[in-house]
Structure formats: structure tokens, C-alpha cells
Structure 1
């Protein structure tokens, strides 16, 4: 298919590359043109100086940008340039509000919008092994599912517009709780005089096992956080879901607490540290 991709950050750059390798005709746009030029040098295709230029005649436009306002801006620019019946697939983590807003806007011009936030981080994007949670019209989802399969290991439509973003919020709630539990467990182990690696080996095959434990316990114990999903990004996501909880009446006491803890990590200079850096606030010198 003729596919445009907007947003070539640590996630979008490899995701767009998988589309090119799958045989799609890909055009790209990035707010910083140098990244778009580097992508074309690596993968072929073409770049647009504007979102509209990249999207001209495209049957699918995929986005992986920063926040709600970025999505609004790119969609407003690109929407009129897309082919009739085109589908916009937004991989940005945004509010469910903007997902519904963009779906309504796209529908007015005979096009469709699917909110499709991802989980799996940079490593998942590079390996083409992302989990994608989608919201939107069934027919639109069916059209884009084989396209986004180029960088996914699991794709599921969760319901109408906004349902993908709401599911991603559940994902982030669960991650926040697990990482805080790991931080406290590691901190307790050290205070108790236990060997952190021995503790991991003892408990990681039982009920405490998790992806976070298997992939972050060692780096947490070594105080290494210069990789992964940044605290700034996590706080953005937690802010979105806490706002949604205010609207739907959900009680998220633990999540609100962990959000405050991440603010402490930011104050320690950890804005770009991995989310596992929650342990740093417990291990800081007294």
C-alpha cells in the first residue's frame, strides 16, 4: 500500500523501516528534516517537507508523535492530502478525548481514524515485536491491521474510538505498580543484607515473576537508568490516565502515588532515566 509515516523518533524510525521492508511504498515526515533524510538514506522511499506533502495520495497515514496537540497539528495538515477512504493510524499515546475528536474529524471527509498506542518500547519497535491496542471502526481496523502487522507481535481492536488509548492507560497503571513493587523489593533486600542477584534467582520463577523483573532487576540493582522509557514520558502518560480517571470516577490511589514518586525522580535529575529509576529515590544518600 501507499503509506505515509509521521514522527521518526526512537519508535517511529524503526517502525517506518519495517513498513518499507514489508514492501509498502513509504513516505516519511519529521518535524526535524534531518531525521527524515537519514531514514530515506537507510530505507529508500521519499520524504515530505510537510506532513501534507508526505501524506499526498497515501492510503494509510501512521503517526508516532509527542502529545495531543502534535496529533491535532499533523492530522489537520495531512488529512486533506490523503487518498479518498484513507485511514489514519495514531501510535502516539494520547488522551481518549483527542482520539474521539480525530475520529470525528476524519469521518467528516470520508476517511477514518484508528487510535493504536503501542507497548514494547524501543527494543520492541526495532525488533518489530510491539503490542498494539486499537480503537476505531471495524472496517478501518481491518484495512490497516495487515499493514501495522509489519512491526507487531500482537494487535487487537478493543472497541470504538478511544478504546485503544484507554487500554494503554490500563497498561501504564499496571507497569507503574509493578515497577514500584520492584523498587521497594530491591531496596528491602539491600537493607536486609541479601544479595540482590540471589534474590532474583530465588523469586523470578515464582508468582513474583514479571517482564519488568526479568528485564530491569539487574539494571536497577546496578543503578543504571540511561536507556528505556523515560520518566518524562511516563509522567505524561500517567497525567493522561489520571485526568481520565477524574472523568470516569476510577480510584487510582497507587497510580497517583507513583506519579508523585516520579516527580521526585525528575527532581533528582532523572527526567530522561528509564522508569525503573523509581529505586533511585529510595537509594539516594540520606
Structure 2
């Protein structure tokens, strides 16, 4: 069934998602704060809207793909939810903060709009090729209703229902916490091993094939060895997400010593390098402190 989709955010992730929605036969009206994105959006076969409210007018689904909580809150005044078609749904694919998104969820509900969170795991290439991982939070019946839309951008096995509202956001933030923590811990181990006289290539191969092996070591570490700090996401965004999940641990009364450490390292990296793109810039900071680059 064809749906009219209002897509908010035509950036690195929103643009390939826009193309996949159009290819699946949906009518898409996209908007972005950058007017220069209009040509790209139209080239994909979507309509261009001058504002979020214009895009949302009469839409069956509102899909937000924006950088973070502040952008989501700024893009979604009450008028946007009021402009949607009766029985519409808001699908938030942003890496949002559970508490901040909860405020928006209440406002959407006041206008009769159902809400589903589906933050993404993956790269722009994954989005283009339909292999994103979606961490879904919200009512099961709303998920069932939205599956045709979600399956336009990924395969059914990559859609994970984590539970009720907030659980999808939390799952994504936990994955980020563990990945960035693994990156820092692995860098420390490699710097120590290298200083102790172990060849980096031999150490990489040994770790990858050991009980300490991880996707980071097997898949991402070769990029670092080649001098690529994965400049596809902002260090300031990474820091903000780590802060949100650490604060959530504090609020829920669970231990967060490791999370505090990961956050502190990334705060120091942000102070050192500024709000630039680089998912492995915390590793660059550790290399700088050690006076050694991790290059085989």
C-alpha cells in the first residue's frame, strides 16, 4: 500500500532512505534546513517541501532522520503533528535521548499520532543498500502496522523490537557505548603490546582469533591501521550520546564506572580536536599521549 511520507532530514542517512522509500512506491515529501539539498531530493523522485509543516501536511507517516535530540525537538512543534493525516504515525530514526524523545511522544499522542522509535545502526552505504539495523521501541501493534515502511529500508531480520517506548533509543546508545569503549580499550592494548615489542600485525591477528576478539578488531581495526579515523560522524555527537547513556545509568542506579571512563576519554578528545568528524579520534588522542601511531 502506498503511503505519503514526510521525511525530515536529507543528510548522509536521510538521503539514501529517501531513495529507498521512493523506490518502494511511496510518495515522499522531504525537507532539510539546507536548501541546497533540494536538487538531490528531486533527483531521487521525491517532492521538496520548504518546511517541516508543509511536508507533514496530509502525510500518513512522519519520518525524522536528524543529527540528535536538539534538532528533533526544534523540527517538531505541535503544528507539525497537527498537520499529519488522521491515524498517522511518527517514526523517529534519530539517535535520540529517551527522556527528550518522551516529551515529543506525549505531544504527538495529544494529536492522535502513534509513535515508533527506530534508531539506526549502520553507514550511509548500508542505508543505500537496505541493510541497516533498526532498534525499535514502541507498541507491537504500531510496529506491525509500520513494517511495510521499515522493510523498504532494511530486511525483516534486521528489525529488532526491543520493547516499549525508550528501549530502542537505549539499545542504540548501549551499542555505541560498547563500541567506543572497545575501540579505546583495544587501542590501549595495542599501544602496550607494541611498546613491549610485539608486531602489530601479529597482535591484531592473534586478538582477532582469541577470546578477546570482537567485530571492532576484525572489521574496523584495519581502517585505523591504514590511518583512517572513520570520519563519518561528529566527535561532539559521539560525546553527547555517551553522556546521555551515562546519565541514564546514574538515574537508574546501575554501575557506570566504565561508562564514565569512556565518556571522559571522548570528552578529552573533543577538547583536543574539536567538534570534527572522526569516530576513532579518541584512539588518536591515546596515540598522541603514547607518542606512537598504530600503523603496522
Q: What range describes the TM-score normalised by the shorter chain of this pair?
A: over 0.9
Retained in 2: the 8 A contact 1:122–1:228? no
State the shift of 1:279 in Å. Answer: 2.2
Indicate whether 1:211 and 2:215 are aligned: yes
Aligned residue for 1:86?
A: 88
| Cα RMSD after superposing both structures | 1.9
Retained in 1: the 8 A contact 2:9–2:65? yes
Moved more, 58-67 or 216-225: 216-225
SS of equivalent to 1:275 = coil
Aligned residue for 1:277?
A: 281
SS of equivalent to 1:150 = coil
Measured at CA, do residues 186 and 229 of structure 1 come closer, stay the same or move farther in structure 2, by a change above 3 Å?
farther
Measured at CA, do residues 133 and 187 of structure 1 come closer, stay the same or move farther in structure 2, by a change above 3 Å?
same
Aligned with residue 35 of structure 1, among 29, 34, 37: 37
Give the number of equivalent residue pairs.
Answer: 285
State the shift of 1:270 in Å. Answer: 5.6
TM-score by length of 2: 0.89
Indicate whether 1:122 and 2:139 are aligned: no
**Structure 2, unaligned runs of 5 or more:** 292-296
State the shift of 1:173 in Å. Answer: 2.1
After TM superposition, where is structure 1 displaced by more than 4 Å over at least 4 residues in a row?
A: none
Aligned with residue 4 of structure 1, among 3, 6, 20: 6
Retained in 1: the 8 A contact 2:89–2:115? yes
SS of equivalent to 1:134 = strand
Structure-2 separation of matches of 1:21 and 1:207: 43
Aligned with residue 232 of structure 2, among 228, 235, 242: 228
Structure-2 separation of matches of 1:208 and 1:5: 41
Aligned residue for 1:67?
A: 68
Aligned residue for 1:57?
A: 58
SS of equivalent to 2:270 = helix
Measured at CA, do residues 6 and 145 of structure 1 come closer, stay the same or move farther in structure 2, by a change above 3 Å?
same
State the shift of 1:147 in Å. Answer: 0.6
Q: What is the 5 A alignment of 1:9-28?
A: 9-28=11-30
TM-score by length of 1: 0.92
Retained in 2: the 8 A contact 1:119–1:130? yes
**Structure 1, unaligned runs of 5 or more:** none
SS of equivalent to 2:254 = coil
Structure-2 separation of matches of 1:175 and 1:272: 19
The superposition leaves residues 106-131 of structure 1 with CA deviations (integer Å, 9 ceiling, x where unpaired) of 22222111121111133322322111
Retained in 2: the 8 A contact 1:169–1:237? yes
State the shift of 1:84 in Å. Answer: 0.5
Indicate whether 1:249 and 2:253 are aligned: yes
SS of equivalent to 2:136 = strand
Structure-2 separation of matches of 1:270 and 1:226: 15
Aligned with residue 195 of structure 2, among 188, 191, 194: 191
State the shift of 1:239 in Å. Answer: 1.4
Retained in 1: the 8 A contact 2:184–2:282? yes
Moved more, 83-92 or 201-210: 201-210
SS of equivalent to 1:157 = strand
Aligned with residue 103 of structure 2, among 88, 101, 104: 101
SS of equivalent to 2:280 = helix
SS of equivalent to 1:5 = strand
Aligned residue for 2:146?
A: 144
Structure-1 separation of matches of 2:209 and 2:95: 32
The superposition leaves residues 190-229 of structure 1 with CA deviations (integer Å, 9 ceiling, x where unpaired) of 2122222222223313323222112321222333215233
